């Protein structure tokens, strides 16, 4: 067996990066030569976690077939969110907490998917099942992912399993969960020096819905108006990305991590589908989404139903 590459989705967030690290470490302990890699550079929030626990970011790859023919996927399964040459590779394993779509393999594989708030919550279970001790630094990164994906337990995707796992990992990594968690989340909301492309596409995923192709981005902030003050610039960049990549619509979800609400900024048609999905009226291409913080649970399913 050649070296196995382990990676999360494109435009990686904290869970995508750290689950690659934690899962590849587990695989190496089980006798598989595995390396964590990334499908994009880390964001500020993830960089904060990596720096705090003194762990190097995984190297970034654009394709994998020149290095290996075997890979493992974490925090995603959909082909359009994965490495560019995914269809030319053998997927040995998937560990994920998202919907399953646009995914098939020629060979049997290990597949672990659970409806929890974070991939690392599942990976912690796997460490325990195999009797593998979680190193302090990796425990800190796994904790960071749970905090990120659950918005410090405010997201509706968060389960009791996630909370229990986070508390256990905080003890192993020797951090104050609430203090560290809030500091890490705030580190990811420094948007002043970001370009319009970085804002809309830094945490964006593509979703086929009916006969349409939607690009859905999300940005966390402590002041939604700071982002909306650049609306004209953002809309121009959203349209540019649509034209270049064949998206029918671009939805940017701007989430206030303190108030746990979001504003949707929408470019493309048919906008009435978005209005129907959230029972809102778009004014100036935007609408308040009260209580919405999770793309996975509160945005994608509603839009999928509306566009089906």
Q: Which residues are annotated as a binding site for Mn(2+)?
A: 9, 13, 15, 75, 97, 149
Positions at the binding site: 9, 13, 15, 75, 97, 149
Closest by CA position to 77, among listed 247, 207, 187: 207
Phi, psi of 62 (to 5 degrees): -105, -25
Query: Which residues have CB under 8 Å from 144's CB, separation 6+?
Result: 14, 18, 46, 49, 52, 53, 184
Closest by CA position to 295, among listed 225, 203, 213: 203
Residues 87/71, Cβ–Cβ less than 8 Å: no
For the four alpha carbons of 291, 293, 296 and 300, in that order, the dihedral sign comes to positive
User: Residue 249 belongs to what H/E stretch?
Assistant: strand 249-256
Alpha carbon distance 156, 164 (integer Å)? 16
E strand intervals along 33-168: 34-36, 70-74, 90-96, 110-113
Residues 71/92, Cβ–Cβ less than 8 Å: yes
79: DSSP letter: G
Counting Cα atoms < 13 Å in the Cβ hemisphere of 261 gives 9
Alpha carbon distance 112, 102 (integer Å)? 16
């Amino acid at each position: 067996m050649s070296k196995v590459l382990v990676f999360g989705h494109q435009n990686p967030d904290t869970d995508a990066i750290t689950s690659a690290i934690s899962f590849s470490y587990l695989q190496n302990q089980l006798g598989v030569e595995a390396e964590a890699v990334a499908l994009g550079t880390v964001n500020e929030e993830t960089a904060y976690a990596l720096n705090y626990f003194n762990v190097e970011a995984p190297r970034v790859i654009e394709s994998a077939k020149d290095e290996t023919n075997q890979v493992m996927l974490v925090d995603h399964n959909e082909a359009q969110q994965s490495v560019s040459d995914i269809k030319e590779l053998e997927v040995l394993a998937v560990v994920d907490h998202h919907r399953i779509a646009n995914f098939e393999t020629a060979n049997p594989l290990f597949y672990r998917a659970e409806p929890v708030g974070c991939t690392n919550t599942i990976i912690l279970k796997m460490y325990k099942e195999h009797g593998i001790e979680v190193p302090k630094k990796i425990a800190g990164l796994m904790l960071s992912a749970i905090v990120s994906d659950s918005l410090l337990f405010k997201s509706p995707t968060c389960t009791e399993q996630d909370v229990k796992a986070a508390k256990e990992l905080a003890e192993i990594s020797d951090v104050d969960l609430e203090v560290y968690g809030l500091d890490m989340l705030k580190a990811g909301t420094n948007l002043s020096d970001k370009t319009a492309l970085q804002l809309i596409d830094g945490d964006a995923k593509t979703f086929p819905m009916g006969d349409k192709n939607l690009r859905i981005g999300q940005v966390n902030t402590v002041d939604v108006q700071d982002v909306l003050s650049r609306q004209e610039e953002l809309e121009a960049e959203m349209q540019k990305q649509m034209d270049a990549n064949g998206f029918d619509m671009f939805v940017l979800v701007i989430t206030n991590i303190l108030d746990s609400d979001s504003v949707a900024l929408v470019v493309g048609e048919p906008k009435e589908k978005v209005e129907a999905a959230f029972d809102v009226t778009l004014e100036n291409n935007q609408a308040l989404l009260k209580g919405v913080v999770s793309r996975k649970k509160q945005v994608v399913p509603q839009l999928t139903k509306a566009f089906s």
